[in-house]
């Protein structure tokens, strides 16, 4: 039987029982809390970006289908007031990868080493960032800290760079997407204006009228309380793959930010369960879910995503919220991974406590 068919069937059988019968609080074993972990590197803030500076555009994962899409991305960065320097291998393609692994890593390494480059932007996500991690020059990154922006599959690079250098990186829009007014304002506040304290990924304003209230961008509060910690995370699927490798981020005392796309609730369940079984979720100070886009049940019985998060995360005893504005959405906020933030589970807010750039 196909693995996904089998898992789908298993999930359906489990859902026949009520959630109250199968849900259990996550055990908080002392041994889980005290797991030996490597010491996290000291946080390093990159210099803030300024209009007129040069951005290196690279493709660390997949490429676009057509070259015109790359030129579109260059125009997007130009419209933001930056000069664009394309990576040497930017237009290369190899099936679902943007060319050879070493070449993609070389573009990243060269961009950090280039004194004429002030920031680095990922063309898109897709797949492939994890393949280049052994070829990344972390010493060069440490010696030349710069703003690095991207999300989705780029999560692998956020994790690795943070783990090996302590550099604050930015989970934000890729270059091949239009910037909404919300996304632009968030990026400018965090990366260019260095505002702090400042709200992160808060739902955009909505004017309530009789019979009309916010529906699309609601915040769900699973567990209250406040927690301060360094931001880590990104795409749940990619983050899960980092566990047990030299590239996983420091979970202890962190505020974990998670998003995903096109994953059924049972697969979200599976990944969260893996983070529990590996002892990682028991070590964070709080969990902030962004948007899990198109993460809906398929055919057959299934828990809802809300039920999965409640079942897997509420028993951790830390603030847990869902619905913040980051992920595979147009209004994609910029999150500075590695910077200190506060998650309030009672108000459903995430606040940047300190400037993420120098």
pLDDT value of position 38: 59
> Under DSSP, is residue 233 helix (H, G, I), strand (E, B) or coil?
strand
Cα distances from 138 to residues 105, 118, 145, 166, 266, in angstroms, run 11, 17, 10, 10, 36
Could you tell me the end-to-end alpha-carbon distance of the chain, in angstroms, rounded to an integer?
Answer: 54
The active-site residue out of 152, 237, 302, 355 is: 152
**Cis, bond preceding 19 (omega within 30 deg of 0):** no
pLDDT value of position 18: 37
pLDDT value of position 40: 77
What does pLDDT average to in each consecutive run of 10 residues of the chain (358 residues)?
A: 41 39 41 47 96 98 98 98 98 98 98 98 98 98 98 98 98 98 98 94 96 96 98 98 98 98 97 98 98 92 96 98 98 98 98 97
Closest CA to 84 of 68, 98, 73: 73
The active-site residue out of 259, 263, 342, 355 is: 259
**List of domains in the chain:** 54-194 (3.40.50.10740), 199-352 (3.50.30.60)
Q: Is there a catalytic annotation at residue 68?
A: no
> Under DSSP, is residue 14 helix (H, G, I), strand (E, B) or coil?
helix
pLDDT value of position 300: 82
The active-site residue out of 171, 248, 328, 342 is: 328
Q: Is there a catalytic annotation at residue 118?
A: no
Q: What is the DSSP letter of 180?
A: P
> Under DSSP, is residue 222 helix (H, G, I), strand (E, B) or coil?
strand
Q: Is there a catalytic annotation at residue 354?
A: no
pLDDT value of position 39: 74
- Let me know: does 288 contact 350? Beta carbons within 8 Å: yes
pLDDT value of position 33: 37
């Amino acid at each position: 039987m196909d693995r996904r068919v089998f898992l789908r069937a298993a999930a359906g059988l489990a859902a026949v029982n009520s959630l109250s019968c199968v849900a259990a609080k996550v055990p908080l074993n002392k041994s889980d809390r005290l797991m030996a972990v490597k010491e996290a590197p000291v946080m390093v803030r990159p210099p803030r970006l300024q209009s007129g500076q040069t951005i290196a555009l690279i493709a660390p994962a997949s490429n676009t289908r057509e070259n015109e899409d790359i030129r579109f991305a260059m125009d997007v960065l130009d419209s933001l007031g930056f000069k664009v320097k394309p990576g040497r291998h930017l237009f290369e393609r190899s099936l679902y990868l943007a060319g050879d692994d070493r070449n993609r890593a070389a573009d990243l390494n060269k961009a950090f080493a280039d004194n004429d480059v002030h920031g680095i932007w990922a063309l898109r996500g897709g797949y492939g960032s994890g393949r280049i991690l052994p070829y990344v020059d972390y010493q060069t990154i440490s010696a030349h800290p710069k703003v690095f922006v991207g999300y989705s599959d780029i999560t692998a690079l956020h994790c690795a760079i943070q783990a090996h250098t302590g550099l604050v990186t930015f989970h934000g829009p890729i270059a091949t997407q239009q910037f909404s007014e919300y996304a632009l304002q968030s990026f400018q506040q965090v990366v260019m204006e260095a505002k702090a304290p400042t709200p992160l990924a808060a739902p955009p304003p909505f004017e309530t009228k009789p019979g009309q209230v916010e529906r699309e961008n609601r915040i769900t509060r699973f567990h209250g309380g406040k927690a301060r910690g360094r931001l880590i995370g990104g795409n749940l699927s990619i983050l899960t793959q980092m566990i047990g490798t030299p590239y996983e981020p420091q979970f202890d005392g962190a505020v974990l930010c998670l998003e995903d796309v096109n994953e059924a609730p049972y697969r979200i369940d599976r990944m969260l369960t893996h983070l529990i079984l590996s002892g990682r979720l028991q070590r964070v100070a709080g969990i902030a879910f962004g948007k899990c886009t198109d993460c809906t049940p398929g055919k057959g019985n299934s828990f809802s995503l809300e039920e999965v998060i409640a079942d897997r995360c509420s028993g951790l005893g830390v603030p847990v919220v869902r619905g913040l504005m980051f992920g595979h959405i147009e209004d994609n906020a910029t999150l500075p991974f590695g910077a200190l933030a506060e998650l309030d589970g009672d108000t459903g807010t995430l606040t940047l406590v300190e400037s993420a750039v120098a």
